[in-house]
Every structure is written in C-alpha cells, then in structure tokens.
Amino acid sequence: MVRLRVVALTAGFAASVGCCAAAQQQDVIRPKVVIVAYFEVGKDTGDRPGEAQLWVERDHLDRVIDVPGMTHAVRVKADGSEILAVVGPGQIRPAANLMALGFDKRFDLRESYWLINGIAGVSPEDGALGSAFWTDYVVNGDLLHFIDPREMPADWRDGYYAIDKSRPEEQPRVAAESAEDVRTWPKDEAQINWRGTVVQMNPVLLQWAYGMTKEMKLPQTEATRTSGAKYKGFAKAQAAPVVSVGANIATETFWHGAKMDEWAHRWVVYETDGRARMGTTSMNDSGAMVALYALTKAGRADWNRALLLRTASNFDRQPEGMTAEQSANSEKHAGFTGYEASLEAGVCGGGQGGEGDCGGRGTGGEVGEVAVR
C-alpha cells in the first residue's frame, strides 16, 4: 500500500536539517511536514473519516490550534514535527486558508515539506478506483471562456476555449519559446504561468516520491473491482490499482460524463503544450498551489518542497449502458465506490509500530516509508 509516513527523508535525497527539539518547548512550531487535506466529514477523530481523520488518528496529531482566518483547526503532533491543515472545499477556500496558516507567526514553514493529499475522480482511460497519482502538473479548468453547446458553432467539439482566444484549442496557444511555453520550463523546480492556471510541481521531488512508491500494492475491494468491470474496453479501469504520475485538472464544478471527460483530457494537453496527460480530476489544487507560490514569494514557505498525491475514489464518466445522469447520481460525496480504498491508498499505518493493515509489499521489495523531512 502507499505508505506515507512523515518521519525522515530517505538518506541521500536531502541534507540533514539538524536535531529536533520538542516543539512544545519552542515559541514557534517548525514542522518537518505539513499535511494538507481538503475536507473532513464530521469530527477529526472517532467517526466516518474524511481526508484528514486517518492522518490525525494514526500519526497522533492530538494538539489542536485555532488559526485566525482558517475554517478548520490545525492538528499538531506533540513534538511539533508534523501538522495537518484541512483547507477546502473548492479553489478559493484552500488559498485563503493556506495564506492564513502561512502568515500565522506561531508556525515557521520555511523549511517544511508539504504533502497535499486528497481523493479524486479518475477517467477509466487512466486508472482503476484506488489508484494513486503523483501530480506533475495542476491545470485550472475554471478560468476560461464557455459557450453553451446548444449555441456553439457546429464544428466545435465543446464550448470551452482559452480566455484570450476565440475558439477551442486555437494555436499558437502562446508564443513559442516564451516564458509561458510550458515546453521551455526547467525540469528541476516548480513553475507557474502568469495567470496561475498551470503549475508544474517540482519534478525532482516528484520523481523521488514516485520511485519510492511505484511498486507498492494498493488496496482493492470487491466493490471497486465490480465497478471497474463495467467499463468494457478500458483496460486500466479493469486492472488492479497502481501508483502513477499524471496531471490534475482542478475545477470548482463537479462535472461528470463522457463528453466532459474528453474535454478534460484535451484541455490538459492544450494548456501544458503537450507536456502533460490527465491523471485525476478534483476541485482544489489550483487554489492551493497558487497560495503556496505566494507564500514562497513572501518568504513564508517553499513550494519546491511540495508533493501532491491524488487517489481515485470515483470514475469521472459513465460506463456503457448508463447515462451520465444515472452514473453521476449513483455516487455520493463521502460515499463513492472507491472512497475507503482511496483514503487508505493515500495514508496507511501510523507511528513507528503501525496501526492498521500496512503489510503490503511491492515487486521491488519491502514496502518502504515515504518520509519527508
């Protein structure tokens, strides 16, 4: 299983940051890692879990700190080495919450690593329920033009097109070799375009995380197998879940259906000048990453220390024999077919001894711990 333990960075990847005095003995909390989740269903512990609860319970994030401007209290480990922030939903609230956290003087996040961890939709073309995707690019699917398909020109495939264009997929998207041309972006650090609609995650950190987890066995249930089997002709949907790399398209509209799935794939390719392929769909990551970029510019964080992991809880389109409406309404928030599997894929085990079933092994050997310092 993907096991994201926040203990110490694997030897050889990053330099030591020195000894770790107990946070409660310091005036300022300097976490090694910040976990970012987007929602919790009810309480942080003891009931049906959302994205935060397994982290809180298994990593013993027992201390509670209210931060002015944030909509959910921050959870903190006793020694201050790990904190968790619930910042969603949507795109706007994550940005506002993370800015509030970043400027709270009780926290020094300049040398913290960030693990943004949430469930997501997946296309049957790209993966099975329970699959995990390390995100290489975040693509905003909100800031654009839209004409209702009932009124768009007959030769258009959809009604979406770039804010500065006059038709879908108009070329050139940007001037070739310009700073906005994603193909020119360096591959050793995070990048963002001037509108904030395309973010490249730090490729070096991303590839390290993927290399550590790519052979790991992910949880699969009878329900997720049955759901995947409905997608005839989609080999990845019917296979076991795996760890992959792929882009996330972030939209505040929770869309569903084959036509929207086709648009999303095209939009990711278009906006990244062919550099990325869609992996997952969600509602939040543009806002979160724009905030981390702003905090970096302000000297309050370092977005080159951020990883983004999305795990598939539901398919983003209908299978053969169902309408888009039937498929969409058969799934409910926090009750998706792959909900439990996707939560476990994102975080498994706790403490040094482990709470819960984290005994899976990948073909590459013993299941390791992705440790972020």
**CA distance linking residue 325 with residue 331, whole number of Å:** 10
Mean of per-residue pLDDT scores for the chain: 89
Bigger pLDDT: 8 vs 255 = 255
3-state secondary structure of 161: strand
Contact 280, 124 (CB under 8 A): no
User: Containing H/E element for 99?
Assistant: helix 92-102
| Domain range summary for the chain, segments of one domain joined by + | 23-346
**CA distance linking residue 358 with residue 333, whole number of Å:** 26
**CA distance linking residue 163 with residue 142, whole number of Å:** 10
Q: What pLDDT is attached to residue 26?
A: 54
Q: What pLDDT is attached to residue 347?
A: 78
Q: What is the CATH number of domain 23-346?
A: 3.40.50.1580
pLDDT (average), residues 15-42: 73
Is the pLDDT score of 326 beyond 60? yes
pTM for the model stands at: 0.89
Is the pLDDT score of 61 beyond 70? yes
Tokens standing for residue 6: 């926040």
pLDDT (average), residues 19-42: 78
Q: What pLDDT is attached to residue 145?
A: 98
Q: What pLDDT is attached to residue 38?
A: 98
Q: What letter does residue 119 receive in the DSSP assignment?
A: E
pLDDT in tens, 151-169: 999 999 999 999 999 999 9
Is the pLDDT score of 224 beyond 90? yes
Q: Could you tell me the pLDDT band of residue 20, with boundaries at 50, 70 and 90?
A: very low
Exposed / middle / buried, residue 328 (Cβ in 10 Å: 0-12, 13-18, 19+): middle
Q: What letter does residue 160 receive in the DSSP assignment?
A: E
The owner of tokens 């009124």 is 151
Instruction: Characterize the bridge pairing of strands 33-37 and 113-122.
Output: parallel
Is the pLDDT score of 100 beyond 60? yes
